[in-house]
């Protein structure tokens, strides 16, 4: 249930496994990053954010890792549940320039 380093458009995992979703960002000036979850028929929902002065941040069952050297962001979901099935995408922001860019999504499917 992992895809370390590589962005994949789809990821299928077994319920209870851990999931890792990856995102490569393009702008080295980006200083704020967000992961969103979007379920079918709904708008995106904030999951977790991280600022560029950090390399790890933990939430409830989720962890975001930031590697500025290679411009890579990952979202780790522990003990994945069927309700985690959704499209996940990252956003990078250059707050000084007021610019934001969203990544391609990854569709996570959790098999019971």
Partner 1 sequence: ETGVTQTPRHLVMGMTNKKSLKCEQHLGHNAMYWYKQSAKKPLELMFVYSLEERVENNSVPSRFSPECPNSSHLFLHLHTLQPEDSALYLCASSQYLLYNEQFFGPGTRLTVL
Residue ranges in contact with partner 1 by CB under 8 A: 32, 34, 41-46, 49, 89, 91, 93, 95, 98, 100-105
* Residue 52: CB minimum distance to partner 1, A: 11
* Residue 51: CB minimum distance to partner 1, A: 9
The torsion angles phi and psi of 101, rounded to 5 degrees, stand at -135, 140
Residue 33, beta-bridge partner list: 50, 92
Nearer to partner 1, 77 or 103 (CB): 103
Residue 101, beta-bridge partner list: 92
Nearer to partner 1, 48 or 78 (CB): 48
Residue 24, beta-bridge partner list: 72
Nearer to partner 1, 98 or 112 (CB): 98
* Residue 17: CB minimum distance to partner 1, A: 27
Residue 107, beta-bridge partner list: 10, 87
Q: List Cα–Cα distances, 77 to 27, 57, 63, in angstroms.
A: 25, 12, 7
* Residue 95: CB minimum distance to partner 1, A: 5
């Amino acid at each position: 249930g992992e895809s370390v380093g590589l962005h994949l458009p789809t990821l299928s995992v077994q319920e209870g496994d851990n999931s890792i979703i990856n995102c490569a960002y393009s702008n080295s000036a980006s200083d704020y990053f967000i992961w969103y979850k979007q379920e079918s028929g709904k708008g995106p929902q904030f999951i977790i954010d991280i600022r560029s002065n950090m390399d790890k941040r933990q939430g409830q069952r989720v962890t975001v890792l930031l590697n500025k050297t290679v411009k890579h962001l990952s979202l780790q979901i522990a003990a994945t549940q069927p309700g985690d099935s959704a499209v996940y995408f990252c956003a990078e922001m250059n707050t000084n320039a007021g610019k934001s860019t969203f990544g391609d999504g990854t569709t996570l499917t959790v098999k019971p």
